């Protein structure tokens, strides 16, 4: 089997020029002329790659136009295809017809960067709501982010179903529970859902633009607040990207502590969400039991790391907190009791027929759809996709402490819950191993900002799945662009697909089983 | 079924034995809160939570108020799905441009006394997101705020204390 790089060069030949400013070097970047962008995507499609992310950068500070980048992956290999568009003709050929995942990425590129995906099937803006002026392109360098943008009249046209008995249900942006805002538009007949359409962007805070006003070390604070439930993984992905750019190597002890925090974040979120899924199937018992266990983990985080979610503990060059031998003992004994309690509860989950009736065969994301959409994380693993960056693209200590991947085929609510149950077990196991092999030494090294015109790339498996950062330094060595791709950016598409054939009252349950981030998506 | 009952008995009431450092605080806050709620809201304070642009960190901690350890319902604090039933709006921020209208509508739909509590550093002043084309800053920039609960995110105990501060006045 040839690598993506090999099949790329064999198809594109001399038209593909390799970029030397990209770090780490294991991630290849190919420049292609604009007219061959589609062909490049076709080569990736025939090599069975998935589209990881697609984004644009404004290169005017370098005296260039716009760059459009598409990142593909297959197994452990990541490859970025880059093409240019001049300022006077900001357009590129759409990849949406080849890769469904490009659908929203490209709408977003058009909305926020003002670069047109020519031939894109959907002319509606994304993130940029209908009351924004057409020419407000916040990611362009010429845009002044400090000025408020006026509201204009506009309308967002949802896809409508017609026929006898068809009606529409608008839900949100303010939802019934204590959750983030977003809008769902259902077309239904009786209880049956004909179509669900999401409209997101309500919590767009201008995060990517904000990065450009921050220093490299301030940036990590912001990355830790892209999605507050995934603060460790986002901060880690940001740090790994900028450390790759500068060749900064955090000490081993820091790497182990980062992984420890990453796994604790995974356990805490999985516990809360498994309970919440049960609650949405009217089995509140497990919500309360599991939220009790979650609280125990958070309190230990607070005691040992000084923050319940471990915000701002991962920093460029290492970590901010060390752990004492007593802290290690505390975690180990806590894991023993957690593991016992958890297993007792999972027996109850597994043996409850009324719960089983709700979670099985509900909200099915077929393996075919999962692959086509390019979903990641536990959503992918519940639908037969063997994707986990900890295993496919490991960094220490995951290169020697290897989690077992839980993969299920059914793609229903139960499968998504069960993958997470298995992952709690695995995280408990590997945390024990990490603590037993915790290296001695320093917990951070000095981080020096990167030189001008470089780009760093990193992927980290957060609890929702693969998080991607691509960070670029500008001509003065500042942050020129920070592209953030939360797992939600691709996985939200899957919620729309999984809901087909379900009934309206099962939507909260289906949605909870995905539990994608609004903030991480809207940025 | 037997397993469930067994687990319930095994777990017991976890609301009582709070960790020491929190226990004293929650006990005092809780009792005062209960008193205030009985006096002003006839035993029950109904809260509508609105995420006006947060990163979801604050939401997780507000959620925790409902877990059996903080168990805010014991003080008569109850979260509702509709602003029409709410005595108080608990709002997290920063207010995004795309949520501004929804926040105003929610506020307008809330009957008096319409107490508003801004939660989190971002709810107080925009936090790390600052003010820009997409983030309009703290909740107070958009609707009148009665109290603020800073923190990133504030801990559940701080949330309880903050709620008390506003209704105990």
Secondary structure (DSSP) of A213-275? TS-HHHHHHHHTTSSGGGHHHHHHHHHHHHHHHHT----HHHHHHHHHHHHHHHHHHHHHHHH
Number of domains in chain B: 1
Per-residue pLDDT band for B169 (boundaries 50, 70, 90) equals low
Alpha-carbon distances, residue A228 vs A11, A205, A463, B59, B153 (angstroms): 42, 13, 12, 9, 9
Would an 8 Å CB–CB cutoff place A210 in contact with chain B?
Answer: yes
Model confidence band, residue B31 (pLDDT cutoffs 50, 70, 90) = low
B36, B164 contact by CB (below 8 A): yes
B-interface mutation test, from A114, A138, A148, A174, most B Cβ less than 10 A away: A174
Longest Cα separation, chain A: 71
pLDDT of chain A along its 523 residues, tens only? 578 888 888 888 777 788 888 889 889 999 999 999 999 999 999 999 999 999 999 999 999 999 999 999 999 999 999 999 999 999 999 999 999 999 999 999 999 999 999 999 999 999 999 999 999 999 999 999 998 899 999 999 999 999 999 999 999 899 888 889 999 999 999 999 999 999 999 999 999 999 999 999 999 999 999 999 999 999 999 999 999 999 999 999 999 999 999 999 999 999 999 999 999 999 999 999 999 999 999 999 999 999 999 999 999 999 999 999 999 999 999 999 999 999 999 999 999 999 999 999 999 999 999 999 999 999 999 999 999 999 999 999 999 999 999 999 999 999 999 999 999 999 999 999 999 999 999 999 999 999 999 999 999 999 999 999 999 999 999 999 999 999 999 999 999 999 998 999 999 999 999 999 999 999 9
Of A148, A180, A209, the CB nearest to B59: A180
Chain B residues 101-140 within an 8 A CB cutoff of chain A: 102, 106, 127-136
Q: Which of B1, B3, B25, B56 to mutate to test the interface with A (most CBs of A within 10 A)?
A: B56
Tokens representing A301 are 């985080």
- Rounded CA gap, A18 and A28, in Å? 7
Domain membership of residue B13 (yes or no) is: no
Nearest of A98, A60, A320, A228 to residue B129 by alpha carbon? A228
pLDDT above 70 as % of chain A: 100
Structural domain span for residue B105? 20-167
**SS3 call for B19:** coil
What number is the ipTM of this complex?
0.93
3-state secondary structure labels for all residues of A270-336: HHHHHHHHHHHCCCHHHHHHHHHHHHHHHHHHHHHHCCCCCCCCEECCEECCCCCHHHHHHHHHHHH
Per the CB < 8 A criterion, the answer to whether A132 and A110 are in contact is no
Say yes or no for a CB contact (<8 Å) between A295 and B60. Answer: no
> Cα(A482)–Cα(A485) distance, rounded to whole angstroms?
10
| Closest in A143, A174, A288 to B68, CB measured | A288
Provide the CATH number for the domain around residue B119.
3.40.50.12280
Dist CA A281 CA A262 (whole Å): 29
Chain A hits for B137, Cβ within 8 Å: none
Cα A59 from chain centroid? 25
B56 and A519 within 8 Å at the Cβ level: the answer is yes
Q: How close does chain A come to B38, measured CA to CA in Å?
A: 25
Regarding the domain delimited by A207-522, which CATH topology (the fold level of the hierarchy) does it fall under?
Cytochrome-c3 Hydrogenase; chain B (1.10.645)
Partner A contacted by B98 (CB < 8 A)? yes
| Partner residue opposite A519 with nearest CB, options B55, B82, B133 | B55
pLDDT at A175: 87
Question: A4-118, what's its fold?
Answer: Beta Polymerase; domain 2 (3.30.460)
B115 assigned to some structural domain = yes
pLDDT digits (tens, 9 = 90+) for B110-154: 998 899 999 999 999 999 998 999 999 999 999 999 999 999 999
Structural domain contains residue B14 = no
How far apart are the CA of A379 and the nearest CA of chain B, in angstroms? 20
SS3 of B125, please?
A: helix
Domain ranges of chain A: 4-118, 207-522
B98 → chain A, closest CA residue: A202
Among residues A43, A69, A44, the alpha carbon closest in space to that of A54 is found at A69
A166-171 β-sheet, strand order: A166-171, A183-189, A192-199
Q: A-chain residues within 8 Å CB-CB of B131?
A: 146
Residues of A in contact with B56 (CB under 8 A): 180, 227-229, 517-519
């Amino acid at each position: 089997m040839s690598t993506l790089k090999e099949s790329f060069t064999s198809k594109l030949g001399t038209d593909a020029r390799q970029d030397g400013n990209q770090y780490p070097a294991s991630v290849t970047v190919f420049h292609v002329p604009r007219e061959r962008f589609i062909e490049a995507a076709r080569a990736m499609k025939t090599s069975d790659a998935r589209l990881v992310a697609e984004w644009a950068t404004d290169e005017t500070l370098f005296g260039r136009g716009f760059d459009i980048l598409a990142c593909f992956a297959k197994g452990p290999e990541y490859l970025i295809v880059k093409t240019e568009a001049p300022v006077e003709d900001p357009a590129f050929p759409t990849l949406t017809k080849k890769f469904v995942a490009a659908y929203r990425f490209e709408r977003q590129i058009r909305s926020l960067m003002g670069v047109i995906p020519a031939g894109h099937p959907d002319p509606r803006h994304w993130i940029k709501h209908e009351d924004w002026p057409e020419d407000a392109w916040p990611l362009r360098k010429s845009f002044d982010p400090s000025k408020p943008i006026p509201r204009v009249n506009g309308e967002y046209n949802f896809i409508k179903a017609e026929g006898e008995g068809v009606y529409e249900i608008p839900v949100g942006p303010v939802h019934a529970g204590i959750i983030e805002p977003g809008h769902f538009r259902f077309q239904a007949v009786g209880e049956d859902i004909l179509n669900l359409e999401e409209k997101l962007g309500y919590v767009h805070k201008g995060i990517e633009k904000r990065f450009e006003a921050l220093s490299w070390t301030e940036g990590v604070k912001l990355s830790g607040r892209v999605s507050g439930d995934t603060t460790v993984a986002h901060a880690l992905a940001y740090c790994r990207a900028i450390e790759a750019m500068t060749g900064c190597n955090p000490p081993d002890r820091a790497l182990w502590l980062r992984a420890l925090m990453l796994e604790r974040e995974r356990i805490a979120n999985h516990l809360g969400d498994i309970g919440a899924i049960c609650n949405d199937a009217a089995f509140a018992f497990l919500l309360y039991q599991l939220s009790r266990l979650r609280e125990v983990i958070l309190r230990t985080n607070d005691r040992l790391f000084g923050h319940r979610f471990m915000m701002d503990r991962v920093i460029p060059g290492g970590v901010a907190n060390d752990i004492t031998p007593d802290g290690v003992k505390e975690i180990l004994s806590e894991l023993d009791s957690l593991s016992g309690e958890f297993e007792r509860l999972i027996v109850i989950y597994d043996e409850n027929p009324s719960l089983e009736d709700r979670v099985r065969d509900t909200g099915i994301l077929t393996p075919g759809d999962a692959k086509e959409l390019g979903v990641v994380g536990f959503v992918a693993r519940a639908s037969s996709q063997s994707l986990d960056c900890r295993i496919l693209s490991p960094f220490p200590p995951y290169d020697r402490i290897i989690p077992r991947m839980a993969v299920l085929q059914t793609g229903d609510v139960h499968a998504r819950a069960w993958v997470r149950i298995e992952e709690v077990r695995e995280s408990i196991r590997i945390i024990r191993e990490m603590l037993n092999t915790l290296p001695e030494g320093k917990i951070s090294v000095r981080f020096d900002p990167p030189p001008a015109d470089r780009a760093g790339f990193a992927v980290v498996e957060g609890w929702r799945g693969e998080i991607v950062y691509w960070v670029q330094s500008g001509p003065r060595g500042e942050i020129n662009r920070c592209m953030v791709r939360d797992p939600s950016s691709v996985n939200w598409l899957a919620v729309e697909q999984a809901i087909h054939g379900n009934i309206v009252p099962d939507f909260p349950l289906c949605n909870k089983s995905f539990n994608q981030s609004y903030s991480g998506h809207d940025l | 079924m037997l397993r469930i009952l067994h687990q319930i008995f095994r777990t017991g009431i976890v609301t009582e034995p709070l960790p020491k450092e929190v226990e004293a605080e929650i006990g005092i806050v809780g009792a005062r809160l209960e008193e205030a709620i009985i006096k002003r809201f006839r035993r029950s304070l109904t809260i509508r939570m609105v995420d006006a642009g947060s990163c979801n960190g604050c939401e997780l901690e507000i959620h925790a108020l409902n877990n059996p350890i903080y168990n805010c319902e014991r003080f008569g604090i109850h979260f509702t799905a509709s602003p029409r039933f709410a005595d108080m709006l608990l709002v997290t921020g920063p207010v995004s441009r795309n949520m501004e209208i929804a926040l105003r509508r929610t506020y307008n739909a809330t009957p008096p006394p319409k107490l508003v509590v801004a939660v989190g550093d971002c709810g107080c002043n925009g936090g790390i997101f600052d003010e820009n084309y997409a983030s309009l800053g703290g909740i107070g920039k958009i609707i009148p705020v009665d109290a603020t609960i800073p923190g990133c995110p504030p801990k559940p105990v701080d949330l309880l204390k903050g709620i008390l501060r506003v209704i105990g006045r």
